């Protein structure tokens, strides 16, 4: 039996972004369909949701969850985690969030989603507050160290693999592409649908985006478009941190919302806008396509690769092009129908079961 530990801190939280969603679904697949030759230990910090932890502990796969002391990031992964790994008697450790312990005491597999920090200031703005500039320097050091030390490096797209090879000087023979999956479609309950009424939103009557202050995400560009131009439909930006920006008319800024409400917002959107200049995959693109929601994605990015020709595109950061793309899609029912149909077909190629199986195969290969 192979004993594998996994950095699960982001996947066991109640609120999850991309990396957390990835880890959560890996654990869910293994908990439901346990691998015969591999035991999984999930390491988490103090922010793990007790209900989620109990769910995995009670599942057929009975994922073992080990809570590691409450040291702040990055001390958690560089001090507390390396001390905890030997106690679990692991054969392999999977670092899931671009970075890994510099002194990992067992063989390492690392998931690196992107090399965004190597492109900041070159391909998109580098404006960051002081605390994030310090975090950026740490992430670059830790990502490079993880790439060099790992026996195998997993990533989610060919676009990301090419960037890792070029920016981190990782040999292609060490890279494995493990595309991510699409969320299972759920029908929002009546209570979840109230989020539309509460925000005066009509079904198929608004554009949806996922927001962040990071300049590469393109949220500021979208807010600028709605501020400067009379757009044909309102914009809903979900998951946005509190901001001091002026909020244009026709824009709704929402925080993280529960999964049911998120499904209600996504399923009833007229389109998903994904203007990020740099991502490793683009999970919201797959989820929107699976729901039949037309997508506009930034051209030349991993998100365009993920959409596989089933999305409209516009250059990242080009406000005029994005305003035009939104206006065209809003006014062309035939285009919306075609993208909806092609998007569903493209999304069918992605499954979390396949991601989980490819990951297990990488574990076995790393120990050969």
Distances (CA, A) of 135 to 25, 78, 224: 27, 14, 28
The percentage of residues in the chain with a pLDDT greater than 70, rounded to a whole number, is: 99
Same domain, 72 and 114: yes
Helices (H), 212-282: 219-228, 259-267
Q: Is residue 214 very low, low, confident or very high in pLDDT (cuts 50, 70, 90)?
A: confident
Exposure string for 97-121, b = 16+ CB within 10 A, e = fewer: bbbbbeebebbbbbbbbbbbbbbbe
Domain that holds residue 220: 190-347
Distance, CA of 218 to CA of 334 (rounded, Å): 27
Whether the per-residue pLDDT at 246 is higher than 90: the answer is: no
Number of domains in the chain: 2
- Dihedral of alpha carbons 203, 225, 338, 298, sign: negative
More confident call, 213 vs 35:
35
Let me know if 351 is exposed, middle or buried by CB neighbors in 10 A (0-12, 13-18, 19+).
Answer: middle
Distance CA 285, CA 343 (A): 9
Give the pLDDT score at 135. Answer: 84
What is the distance between the alpha carbons of residues 32 and 56, in angstroms, rounded to a whole number? Answer: 9
Give yes or no: residues 22 and 82 share one domain.
yes
When pLDDT is cut at 50, 70 and 90, the band that residue 185 belongs to is confident
276 HSE (CA, 13 A, CB side): 25
User: How far does Cα 283 stand from its chain's mean position?
Assistant: 5
**Residue-by-residue DSSP string for 6-49:** EE-TTTTSSS--HHHHHHHHHHHHHHHS--SSEEEEEEE-TT--
Are 147 and 225 contained in the same domain? Answer: no
Question: Domain with 88 in it: what CATH number?
Answer: 3.40.50.2000
Is 52 in the same domain as 196? no
Q: What is the pLDDT of residues 63-102, one digit of tens each?
A: 999 999 867 778 899 999 999 999 999 999 999 999 999 9
In this structure, the answer to whether residues 209 and 156 fall within a common structural domain is no
pLDDT at residue 2 tops 90: yes
Query: Does the pLDDT value for residue 130 go beyond 80?
Result: no
Cis, peptide link before residue 179, omega less than 30° from 0: no
Residues 94 and 204 reside in one and the same domain:
no
Report helix angle 219-228 to 319-331, nearest 10.
70
Residues 160 and 33 in one domain: yes
pLDDT digits (tens, 9 = 90+) for 110-129: 999 999 999 887 777 777 77
Which among 251, 239, 303, 254 is positioned nearest to 275, based on CA atoms? 303
How much is the mean pLDDT over the chain? 93
Same domain, 50 and 176: yes
Domain shared by 78 and 101, yes or no: yes
User: How far is the CA of 34 from the CAs of 67, 345, 350, in angstroms?
Assistant: 21, 29, 20
Verify that 54 and 132 share a domain, yes or no: yes
Structure tokens at 128: 């960051």
**Residue 132 pLDDT more than 80?**
no
Per-residue pLDDT of 270-285, as tens digits, reads 999 999 999 999 999 9
In tens, the pLDDT along 144-178 reads: 999 999 999 999 999 999 999 999 999 999 999 99
pLDDT for 260-316, tens place per residue? 999 999 999 999 999 999 999 999 999 999 999 999 999 999 999 999 999 999 999
Does residue 343 register a pLDDT over 90? yes
**Token pair recorded at residue 232:** 């044909």
Confidence of residue 240 (pLDDT cuts 50, 70, 90): confident
Shared-domain flag, residues 129 and 213? no
220/177 same-domain check = no
């Amino acid at each position: 039996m192979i004993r594998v530990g996994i950095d699960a801190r982001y996947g066991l939280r109640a609120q999850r972004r991309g990396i957390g969603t990835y880890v959560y679904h890996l654990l869910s697949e293994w908990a439901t369909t346990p691998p015969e030759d591999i035991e999984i230990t999930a390491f988490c910090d103090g922010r793990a949701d007790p209900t989620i932890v109990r769910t995995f502990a009670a599942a057929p796969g009975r994922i073992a969850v080990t809570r590691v002391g409450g040291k702040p990031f990055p001390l958690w992964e560089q001090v507390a985690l390396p001390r905890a790994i030997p106690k679990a008697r692991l054969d392999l450790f999977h670092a899931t969030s671009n970075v890994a312990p510099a002194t990992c005491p067992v063989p390492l597999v690392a998931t690196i989603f992107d090399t965004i920090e190597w492109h900041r200031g070159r391909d998109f703005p580098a404006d960051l507050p002081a605390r994030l500039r310090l975090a950026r320097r740490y992430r670059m050091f830790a990502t490079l160290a993880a790439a060099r030390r790992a026996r195998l490096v997993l990533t989610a797209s060919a676009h990301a693999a090419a960037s890792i090879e070029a920016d981190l000087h990782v040999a292609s023979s060490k890279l494995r592409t493990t595309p991510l999956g699409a969320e299972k479609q759920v029908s929002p309950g009546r209570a979840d649908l109230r989020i539309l009424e509460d925000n005066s939103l009509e079904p198929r009557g608004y554009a949806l985006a996922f927001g962040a202050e990071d300049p590469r995400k393109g949220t500021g560009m979208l807010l600028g478009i709605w501020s400067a131009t009379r757009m044909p439909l309102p914009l809903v930006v979900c998951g946005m941190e509190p901001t001091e920006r002026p909020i244009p008319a026709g824009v709704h800024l929402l925080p993280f919302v529960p999964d049911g409400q998120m499904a209600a917002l996504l399923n009833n959107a007229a389109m998903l806008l994904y203007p990020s200049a740099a991502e490793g995959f683009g999970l919201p693109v797959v989820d929107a396509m699976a729901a039949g929601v037309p997508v506009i994605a930034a051209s030349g990015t991993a998100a365009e690769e993920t959409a596989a020709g089933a999305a409209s595109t516009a250059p990242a950061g080009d406000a005029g092009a994005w305003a035009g793309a939104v206006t065209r899609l809003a006014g062309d029912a035939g285009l919306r129908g075609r993208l909806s149909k092609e998007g569903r077909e493209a999304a069918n190629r992605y499954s979390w079961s396949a991601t989980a199986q490819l990951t297990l195969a990488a574990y076995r290969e790393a120990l050969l």
